[in-house]
């Protein structure tokens, strides 16, 4: 018997940008998902202890030979997709499965990447059990392929790579994927679960289609110069976003409807903010106060240009800032989920203020290692 685990994450910088191929900065945190393998089996027999406690369907049993996914949002589909991804990678089916239990400290639907922590921890368990020798990058990419391509959930690579690698990384998600480890600095975070549940599958597709609609109009309008159109494209992940400046594209945004214009502005401004912050985080012992203005600015972009905040979230955020947080922003897809606060003192007061303003739960967290076998 052994236990594999993987961390949840906060998306510190460039939220809602990884699926566009833009660089993002996640921080893996010490809220983890644990897969405890009990014994070998002819099937994968997995029990979610957390779902059992909630009185929900909590057991999935499936063949290790090319398992099919079930209809609807069955939690076991993440595990089935992982097995299919492993078999594609190996070029042959797995010959055995195992009985295991799952427990997690990562709240589901909270914007802390519960699905990636589940996928990566389960992958790590399969890797150890079958002695596959998968690298961190293998774990991350197979988990991404499982969720995105096999399970059909329109996520980017942010969550899986953060969970597999751990720490603070700059992730360039467009293949060939690049990882840069950033300086830990003196990061102190409070994560607040708003208690408002959301689904990436409900949020990402609508924002992606709004960007696609904007791009079609820009690509097909003769007013837009050829040089700019060469940097654009017809799909949200096609443009060379990092090469497009605000000055270059702004004169043509009046072609677009308001929502479309906001989504393009968000993409350009969020990217510029992230690169300003990353330059500071590459230095030894960077200071929290240097990064705080960009964190607050990025939340405002998410709220005002991407429309993924809610009045309840703003109430919690305002209370935390008033209590002394240096910066507070959304983590995850938004429309609920979690907020992250950058703090250097008054932690207890900040937590109390969030709970008093309606938050369900709050934790002081710190950067943690990636997928591992627990000793």
Question: Pick from 53, 52, 11, 87: which is nearest to 338 by CA?
Answer: 11
Q: What confidence score (pLDDT) does residue 239 get?
A: 97
Residue 85 and residue 142: Cα distance in Å, rounded?
6
What was the pLDDT predicted at 198? 66
Helices within 166-310 (DSSP H only): 200-220, 226-229, 246-249, 258-281, 288-304
| Tokens 């236990």 sit on residue | 3
Tokens, residue 261: 């214009």
Domains of the chain by residue range = 2-183
Contact (CB, 8 A) for 245 and 268:
yes
pTM over 0.85: yes
* pLDDT computed for residue 188 by the predictor: 86
pLDDT of 291 reads: 93
Q: What is the pLDDT of residue 334?
A: 87
Strands of the sheet containing 372-373, edge to edge, are 59-62, 44-48, 97-104, 25-41, 2-13, 372-373
- 2-183 CATH fold: Ribosomal Protein S5; domain 2 (3.30.230)
Nearest Cα to Cα of residue 267 among 13, 14, 12: 14
Judged by DSSP in three states, 189 sits in: strand
Q: Are 57 and 27 in contact (CB under 8 A)?
A: no
How many CB atoms neighbour CB 166 within 10 A? 23
From CA 203, how far away is CA 291, in angstroms rounded?
27
The two structure tokens encoding residue 303:
């709220």
Q: How many CB atoms lie within 10 A of CB 205?
A: 12
Core vs surface per residue 269-297: b (16+ CB within 10 A) or e: bbbebbeebbeebeeeebebeebbebbbb
The pLDDT of residue 200? 61
Q: How far apart are CA 292 and CA 287, in angstroms?
A: 9
Confidence at residue 147, expressed as pLDDT on a 0 to 100 scale = 96
Q: What pLDDT tens digit does each residue of the chain (375 aa) get?
A: 999 999 999 989 999 998 999 999 999 999 999 999 999 999 999 999 999 999 999 999 999 999 999 998 899 999 999 999 999 999 999 999 999 999 999 988 777 889 999 999 999 999 999 999 999 999 999 999 999 999 998 788 999 999 999 999 999 998 899 999 998 777 889 999 998 876 666 788 899 999 999 999 999 999 999 999 999 999 999 999 999 999 999 999 999 999 999 999 999 999 999 999 999 999 888 888 999 999 999 999 999 999 999 999 999 999 999 999 999 999 888 898 899 999 998 999 999 999 999 999 998 998 999 999 997
Q: Phi, psi (5° rounding) for residue 41?
A: -150, 160
pLDDT reported for residue 310: 95
């Amino acid at each position: 018997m052994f236990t594999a685990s993987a961390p949840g994450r906060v998306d510190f910088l460039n939220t809602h940008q990884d699926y566009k191929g833009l660089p993002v900065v996640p921080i893996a945190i010490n809220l983890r998902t644990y897969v405890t393998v009990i014994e070998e089996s002819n099937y994968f027999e997995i029990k979610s202890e957390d779902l059992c406690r909630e009185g929900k369907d909590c057991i999935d049993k499936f063949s290790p030979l090319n398992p099919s996914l079930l209809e609807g949002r069955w939690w076991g589909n993440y595990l089935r997709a992982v097995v299919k991804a492993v078999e594609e990678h190996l070029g042959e089916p797995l010959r055995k499965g195992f009985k295991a239990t799952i427990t997690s400290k990562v709240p589901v639907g909270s914007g802390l990447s519960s699905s990636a922590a589940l996928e990566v921890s389960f992958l790590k368990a399969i890797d150890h059990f079958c002695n596959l020798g998968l690298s961190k990058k293998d774990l991350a990419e197979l988990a991404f392929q499982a969720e995105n391509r096999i399970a059909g959930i329109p996520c980017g690579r942010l969550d899986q790579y953060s969970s597999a690698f751990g720490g603070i990384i700059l992730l360039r998600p467009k293949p060939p994927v690049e990882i840069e480890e950033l300086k830990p600095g003196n990061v102190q975070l409070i994560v607040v679960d708003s208690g408002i549940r959301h689904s990436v599958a409900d949020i990402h597709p609508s924002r992606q289609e709004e960007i696609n609609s904007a791009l079609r109009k820009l690509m097909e309008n003769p007013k837009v110069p050829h040089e700019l159109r060469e940097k654009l494209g017809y799909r949200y992940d096609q443009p060379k976003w990092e090469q497009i400046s605000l000055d270059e594209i702004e004169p043509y945004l009046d072609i677009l409807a308001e929502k479309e214009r906001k989504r393009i502005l968000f993409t350009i401004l969020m990217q510029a903010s992230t690169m300003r912050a990353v330059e500071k985080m590459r230095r030894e012992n960077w200071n929290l106060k240097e990064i705080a203005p960009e964190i607050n600015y990025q939340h405002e972009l998410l709220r005002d240009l991407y429309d993924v905040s809610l009045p309840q979230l703003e109430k919690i955020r305002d209370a935390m800032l008033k209590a002394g947080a240096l910066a507070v922003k959304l983590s995850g897809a938004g429309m609920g989920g979690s907020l992250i606060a950058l703090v250097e003192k008054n932690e207890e007061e900040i937590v109390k203020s969030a709970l008093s303003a309606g938050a369900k739960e709050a934790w002081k967290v710190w950067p943690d290692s990636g997928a591992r076998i627990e000793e």
